[in-house]
């Protein structure tokens, strides 16, 4: 069985310059809004079986992008309503913690791994 997934105990506000999450294991994550939006995991942004849209990049998503609101989805994800009217992505805690966290420690450990083939 996989180790218990840490859950957010404290989530910053959409008015903050960056999103911050403090996890149940004490880890502190930070995320730029632009990077979160670029990594939206919904089918329209990421594709699904038989549908491969071009990947979003900083060319498509302006640095001024902001979440207008956010909320928890069940006990496993956060959902954002973006200033470009997009709101279908469910950001699972696993995604936020293991793939998108921009803290120094996570960025370093991810860059040490071979890039994921996608
Ligand atoms: Zn999306
Ligand atoms: Zn981190």
CA of 43 to the centre of ligand 1 (A): 6
Which residues have CB atoms below 5 A from the ion given as ligand 1? 40, 42, 45, 89
| Sequence ranges of the domains in the chain | 8-112
Task: Among 3.40.50.2000, 3.30.2020.30, 3.40.640.10, 3.40.50.300, name the CATH number for the domain at 8-112.
Answer: 3.30.2020.30
Question: What are the angstrom distances between the C-alpha of 53 and each of 4, 50, 56, 84?
Answer: 33, 10, 9, 18
* Distance, CA of 96 to CA of 109 (rounded, Å): 15
Please tell me the predicted confidence (pLDDT) of residue 43.
95
pTM: 0.89
Ligand nearest to the CA of 60: 1
Task: Find all residues with CB under 8 Å of 93, minimum gap 6, and list them.
Answer: 5, 6, 7, 8, 76, 77, 78
Greater pLDDT, 113 or 49: 49
The confidence score (pLDDT) of residue 1 equals: 56
Token reading at 36:
């979160």
């Amino acid at each position: 069985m996989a180790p218990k997934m840490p859950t957010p105990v404290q989530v910053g506000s959409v008015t903050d310059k960056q999103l911050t999450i403090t996890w149940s294991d004490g880890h502190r994550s930070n995320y730029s809004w632009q990077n979160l939006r670029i990594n939206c995991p919904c089918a329209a942004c990421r594709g699904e079986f038989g549908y491969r849209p071009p990947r979003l990049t900083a060319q498509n998503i302006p640095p001024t992008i902001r979440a207008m609101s956010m909320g928890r989805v069940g006990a496993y994800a956060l959902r954002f309503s973006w200033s470009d009217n997009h709101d279908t992505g469910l950001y699972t805690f696993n995604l936020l913690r293991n793939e998108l966290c921009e803290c120094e420690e996570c960025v370093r450990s991810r860059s040490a791994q071979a890039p994921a083939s996608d």
